[in-house]
């Protein structure tokens, strides 16, 4: 009788589930139908608008009318497009015709952490939050296009703009960029993914010609852009400054084919400012909106200066003469109108928000999850608030504002809490004493200003303060001035600037209980590594920087960040630098990426060059055990799901998060491969003493390599090795599978 009742219950449940699946299928089908009908209606509407536009009006839509806007067509009620620099917040208002700030009093915003920090969270859900919130601020400021995020690959630690990107791994960048885009665009604001493509250094960026194998291009440098287009459905892209195979990226025939034919990108390609060089190429090879070109008209304040742009009067003349078919112009206008209907002509978008508590909370959450604990000898951290303890906070970066500077991503934050202020707010009982220690000079773009204070005096003051303290927290690293972490130039050395290495060594001599908290967007050399008790890598953390750092140092938040790029022991251990100047920085005309696909940890693993700190590495105040690691079967075919399961147990005394990372390698491949490549990860929060089961799914097609002999992806048959761990250098289990 009981068995009959159970069978009846199962049948009822199966019937209910079948009904729900049928309803969901019908709803999904209806949604697809509605979406298709909506798209068809939009395209028909765009057709009708194009027919009403004059040739001159269409050309005008393809170039700027001011530093950050392109024109609409007033007689037809078509609005302008307004853009703003990002990606970490909405830049202060710029003048119409020059790069000076407009001096508005209502353009202060929330500064979100730099994208290196976001990547270090290994948390796509936080990326979605980031996008939604920064998108709300852009919408409130009436911006239609937010110029970000950036996904250029971290190739060298000298690149001045690495802090704006998402690290060295294309899979990580792909998984983090998609939710950011979707979040921004829920506000009716277009994300503009940049810089397409190979803009991996700032030195000579405006002209350097990059030569890279097709395989490295498709496996390393394109995947995040591809994900942005095909999964993120991004509405706009920004071109890179540099050349690729002898053509500028703004109007590159091969790159345009990949973007608009192979990937089916339906949005608008926008130049980086001043990155256009040729009218005919711009017309034929995919450029849709030209921004920022320097012309005599602009510098001489000539009337109608923007008509001097390559896609302005020169474009119009070629069209009138019949040298360029009008269909090329119509394609650009169609994409621009599509962008407008999604943004400036979208009547359903909200009003946005700015500087509210929710945005500050999200900025703080991202910052704390992205901070990486690299060393923690004898549990130096966390530091408890104790009235019997004296903490020395030393270093300019403890007080230096970091939302300003850095080039186009600088921000006008309404509030920025410094590390020193954050620690003072958290530590009510301990005694905190401070010394500047060193000075770097003001935050400036495209030039270096000398420091004004006496370096020796600053050093002596720091040593005196250190000698009086129980604990020393040295805040050093880089800043966002020229030749540091800044657009327009690369770092000139791998070591810390402003004599910080010497200062750290001298501080340790007077107080061995010293830790280093690095503020930077790049890896740095650490000759003092073995002498310090602890090392924390923070980033440019935005408005809530000081509070987030205090959260980690105090233990209010357990650190869970993982490095999104490798820290080589010395610069020559980095792949790009190991092949000499032609590989980095080039000979000022050409540059060859001789390392091919072996970027970052791929290089360190394959060449057996041990890094100082590895990709994916990051400590916690608790301990985790990853066990019961299994794969769903041993033999797979093409386009089949590999399911890796494991149990993660928090065996320590703090609640915390761990990132399980899955790498896959192909031994005895017919082509050169990295030892292993990241193909899956999952971040999980676990209370102390508890455990959770995880499942990470990888499609076998994602194990293919780009086969240059067929100009397409090729999935090799044979044996593969699955590596499971919590860092690229901490593999807990190896599993063998076959693909037939």
Q: What is the pLDDT of residues 711-729, one digit of tens each?
A: 999 999 999 999 999 999 9
Under a CB-based contact definition with an 8 Å cutoff, are residues 256 and 286 in contact?
yes
Q: How far is CA 545 from each of CA 53, 74, 111, 418, 619, rounded to the nearest angstrom?
A: 50, 44, 10, 6, 20
Indicate the range of 26-40, 371-385, 574-588 predicted with least confidence: 26-40
Q: What is the pTM of this model?
A: 0.94
What pLDDT, on a 0 to 100 scale, did the predictor assign at position 19?
A: 59
**Pairing state between β 514-519 and 471-477:** parallel
User: What residues contact 236, with CB distance under 8 A and at least 6 apart?
Assistant: 145, 190, 191, 192, 193, 267, 268, 269, 270, 339
Helix (H, G, I), strand (E, B) or coil at 54: coil
Indicate whether 149 pLDDT > 60: yes
Integer-rounded Cα radius of gyration of the chain: 27
Active site residue 272: yes
pLDDT digits (tens, 9 = 90+) for 130-142: 999 999 999 999 9
pLDDT in tens, 600-611: 999 999 999 999
**With 0-12 CB in 10 A as exposed, 13-18 as middle and 19+ as buried, what is 736?**
exposed
Least confident among 5-19, 120-134, 334-348, 466-480: 5-19
For residue 101, the SS3 value is: strand
Taking the C-alpha atoms of residue 540 and residue 112, their distance in angstroms, rounded to an integer, is 9
Cβ 243 vs Cβ 199: under 8 Å: no
Task: Residue count of the chain, please give it.
Answer: 740
Share of the chain above pLDDT 70, in %: 94
Mean predicted confidence (pLDDT) in 540-560:
98
Of 102, 107, 188, the residue nearest 141 (C-alpha)? 107
User: Which strand (E) or helix (H) includes residue 10?
Assistant: helix 2-52
Q: What is the mean pLDDT of residues 61-75?
A: 96
What is the predicted pLDDT for the residue at 297?
A: 41
Say what the pLDDT of residue 503 is.
98
Exactly one of 272, 288, 551, 605 is catalytic; name it: 272
């Amino acid at each position: 009788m009981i068995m009959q009742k159970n069978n009846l219950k199962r049948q009822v449940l199966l019937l209910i589930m079948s009904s729900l699946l049928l309803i969901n299928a019908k709803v999904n089908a209806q949604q697809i139908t509605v979406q298709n009908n909506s798209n068809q209606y939009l395209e028909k509407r765009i057709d009708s608008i194009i027919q009403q536009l004059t040739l001159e009006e269409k050309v005008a839509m393809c170039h700027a009318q001011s530093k950050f806007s392109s024109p609409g067509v007033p007689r037809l009620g078509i609005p302008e497009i307004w853009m703003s620099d990002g990606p970490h917040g909405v830049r202060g208002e710029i003048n119409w015709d020059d790069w000076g700030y407009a001096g508005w009093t209502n353009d202060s915003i929330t500064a979100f952490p730099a994208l290196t920090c976001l990547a270090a969270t290994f948390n796509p859900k936080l990326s979605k939050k980031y996008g939604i919130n920064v998108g709300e601020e852009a919408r409130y400021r009436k911006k239609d296009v937010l110029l970000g995020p950036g996904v250029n690959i971290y190739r060298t630690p000298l690149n001045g703009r690495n802090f704006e990107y998402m690290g060295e791994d294309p899979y990580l960048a792909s998984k983090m960029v998609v939710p950011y885009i979707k979040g921004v665009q829920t506000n009716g604001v277009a994300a503009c993914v940049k810089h397409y493509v190979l803009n991996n250094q700032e030195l000579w960026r405006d002209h350097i010609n990059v030569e890279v194998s097709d395989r490295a291009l498709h496996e390393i440098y394109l995947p995040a852009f591809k994900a942005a287009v095909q999964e993120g459905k991004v509405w706009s892209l920004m071109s890179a400054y540099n050349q690729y195979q002898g053509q500028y990226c703004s109007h590159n025939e091969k790159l345009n084919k990949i973007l608009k034919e192979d990937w089916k990108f339906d949005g608008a390609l926008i130049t980086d400012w001043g990155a256009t060089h040729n009218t005919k190429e711009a017309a034929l090879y995919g450029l849709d909106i030209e921004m920022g070109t320097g012309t005599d008209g602009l510098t001489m304040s000539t009337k109608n200066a923007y008509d001097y742009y390559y896609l302005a009067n020169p474009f119009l003349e070629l069209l009138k003469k019949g040298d360029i078919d009008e269909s090329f112009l119509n394609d650009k206008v169609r994409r621009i109108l599509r962008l407008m209907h999604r943004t400036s002509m979208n009547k359903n978008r909200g009003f946005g928000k700015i500087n509210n508590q929710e945005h500050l909370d999200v900025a703080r959450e991202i910052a704390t999850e992205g901070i990486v604990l690299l060393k923690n000898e004898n549990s130096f951290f966390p530091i408890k608030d104790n009235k019997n303890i004296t903490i020395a906070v030393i270093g300019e970066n403890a007080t230096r504002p970091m939302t300003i500077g850095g080039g186009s991503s600088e921000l006008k934050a309404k509030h920025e809490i410094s590390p020193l202020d954050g620690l003072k707010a958290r530590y009510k009982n301990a005694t905190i004493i401070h010394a500047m220690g060193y000075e770097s000079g003001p935050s400036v773009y495209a030039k270096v200003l000398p420091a004004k204070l006496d370096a020796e005096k600053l050093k002596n003051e720091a040593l005196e303060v250190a000698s009086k303290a129980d604990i020393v927290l040295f805040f050093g690293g880089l800043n966002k001035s020229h030749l540091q972490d800044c657009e327009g130039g690369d770092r000139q050395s791998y070591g810390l600037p402003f004599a910080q290495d010497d200062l750290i060594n001298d501080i340790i001599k007077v107080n061995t209980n010293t830790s280093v908290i690095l503020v930077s967007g790049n890896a740095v050399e650490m000759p003092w590594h073995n002498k310090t008790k602890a090392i924390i890598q923070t980033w440019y953390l935005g408005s809530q920087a000081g509070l987030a750092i205090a959260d980690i140092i105090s233990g209010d938040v357990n650190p869970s960040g993982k490095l999104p790029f490798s820290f080589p022991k010395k610069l020559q251990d980095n792949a790009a630098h190991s092949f000499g100047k032609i590989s980095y920085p080039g000979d000022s005309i050409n540059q060859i990426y001789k390392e091919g696909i072996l970027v970052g940890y791929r290089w360190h693993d394959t060449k057996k060059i041990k890094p100082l700190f590895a990709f994916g590495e990051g400590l916690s105040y608790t301990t985790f055990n990853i066990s019961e690691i299994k794969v769903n079967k041993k033999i797979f075919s093409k386009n089949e799901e590999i399911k890796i399961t494991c149990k993660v147990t928090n065996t320590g005394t703090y609640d915390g998060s761990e990132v399980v990372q899955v790498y896959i390698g192909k031994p005895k491949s017919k082509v050169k491969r990295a030892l292993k490549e990241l193909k899956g990860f999952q971040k999980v929060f676990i209370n102390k003493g508890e455990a959770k089961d995880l499942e990470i799914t990888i499609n076998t097609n994602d194990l293919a390599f780009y086969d240059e002999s067929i100009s397409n992806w090729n999935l090799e048959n044979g044996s593969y090795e699955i590596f499971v761990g919590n860092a690229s250098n901490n593999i807990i289990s190896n599993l063998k599978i076959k693909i037939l």
